[in-house]
Amino acid sequence: MPPKPAKPASRSARATGRSLSIVVPVFNEARSLETLHAKISDVARRLASTRGLRIEVVYVDDGSSDATYRIASTLPASGLDIQALALSRNFGKEAALLAGLDHARNEAVLFMDGDGQHPPELIETLVARWLDDNYDVVYTAKAHRDNEPWARRTGVGLFYRLINWGSRHPIPEDAGDFRLLSPRAAAALRRLPERSRFFKGLSSWIGFRQVRVDYEPALRAHGATTWNVWSLLAFSIEGLTSFSVAPLRFASLLGIALAASALCFGFWMVLETILFGKDVPGYPSLVVGLMVIGGVQLIMIGVLGEYIGKLMWESKARPVYLVAEQTTKDATAGAKAAPAAARGE
């Protein structure tokens, strides 16, 4: 594996005092980005005044088709530093989170969505749990899912039960990406080398002192979510195969159950023939048995294929993301363009 690229040279200079980087992945959020930035700037000024925190915000444009990056690169650095990254294409949210983590120049790192559903006012609560209560990972979770359809609530519950099945490091149910990592927790997360990433799982796996903060998601200011049933299903499969061996265990148990059922069925057919003189059922039982066994075999092959695909992706060692453009703007200086960077280790 090639050596990791050097971190931004300015990080050590900025890490002399308490500092926080706010990473915000954005995708086609041009209409709401200025409003969100104004709220984050207000919070940053209050934290600078009450906590003495130096704060920067890192906007990661994950291949938007609108003017998201242009707006992000021209936002005013009022009370906080600004970085704007434009990825070369849409790599997905996990890659955008990693890009923000790699380019964050401050000690602690906070992740939040750019659609406005993660209330910026809650940042002060997360910072308080970090600084006052010495928690290393302060994660948020939805207080309830009463406003969601029954099918989605059921699917989410099944997902967490499956991914935590037999796990020594369970992922808190309903935990989101809106969370704060202390300096040592952020440093630990940077050390994890895998490319098939599942941020929620990795943030739980690193350990340290963790605490949950419940919140009520705000309504989207503009547009509609791009997540649908199929994208959520694909994300669930990605998370399961990236962070858990539960599907493999389930496939093994299913195979054992089918083998035991076949053995019992065969034993019953022998007894039925010997004791009652009945003929052994022929065509129907044969066809049903072949279809069941064939279907289970295809499921198992598919599960194995998902894991083999992960191994192939890791062995190719392609960059998780590529940066096409980058702009930095300090609170006390103007904007300057920075060279594009790639992350592939």
Q: How much is the pTM? A: 0.68
Beta bridge partners of 318: none
- Considering only CA atoms, give the Rg of the chain: 25
Question: What gap in Å lies between CA 44 and CA 285, rounded to an integer?
Answer: 69
Collapsing DSSP states into helix, strand and coil, what is residue 318?
A: coil
Give me the chain's average pLDDT, please: 75
Please work out, in degrees rounded to the nearest 5, the angle formed at the alpha carbon of residue 301 by the alpha carbons of 95 and 204.
35
Cα within 13 Å of Cα(16), Cβ side: 3
Domain ranges of the chain: 10-231+319-343, 246-316
With b for 16 or more beta-carbon neighbours within 10 A and e for fewer, the 144-154 pattern comes to: eeeeeeeeeee
Task: Find where tokens 């936002």 sit.
Answer: 75
When comparing pLDDT for 16 and 53, which is higher?
53
User: What does the pLDDT read at residue 95?
Assistant: 86
What one-letter code names the amino acid at 300?
M
Average pLDDT over every residue of 124-136 = 88
The DSSP annotation for 299-322 comes to: HHHHHHHHHHHHHHHHHHT--SEE
Question: What gap in Å lies between CA 173 and CA 86, rounded to an integer?
Answer: 32
Q: Which of 65, 150, 121, 72 shows the shortest CA–CA distance to 327?
A: 72
> For residue 8, is pLDDT > 60?
no
pLDDT digits (tens, 9 = 90+) for 289-313: 676 777 777 777 777 777 777 777 6
Contact between residue 55 and residue 47 where contact means Cβ atoms under 8 Å apart: yes
Beta bridge partners of 56: 21, 81
What one-letter code names the amino acid at 159?
F
As a CATH number, domain 10-231+319-343 is 3.90.550.10
* Residue 327 phi, psi (nearest 5): -130, 135
Burial class (CB within 10 angstroms; exposed 0-12, middle 13-18, buried 19+) of 217 = middle
Average pLDDT over every residue of 245-258 = 72
> For residue 333, is pLDDT > 60?
no
Question: What gap in Å lies between CA 1 and CA 50, rounded to an integer?
Answer: 44
When comparing pLDDT for 168 and 211, which is higher?
211
Average pLDDT over every residue of 82-102 = 87
Average pLDDT over every residue of 153-175 = 67
Cα within 13 Å of Cα(282), Cβ side: 2
Q: Which of 3, 29, 35, 8 shows the shortest CA–CA distance to 19?
A: 8
Question: What gap in Å lies between CA 77 and CA 213, rounded to an integer?
Answer: 29
**What secondary structure letter does DSSP report for 210?**
E
User: What does the pLDDT read at residue 235?
Assistant: 59
User: What does the pLDDT read at residue 145?
Assistant: 62
Residue 255 confidence class, pLDDT cut points 50, 70, 90? confident
> For residue 225, is pLDDT > 60?
no
Tokens representing 3 are 């050596």
Contact between residue 120 and residue 32 where contact means Cβ atoms under 8 Å apart: no
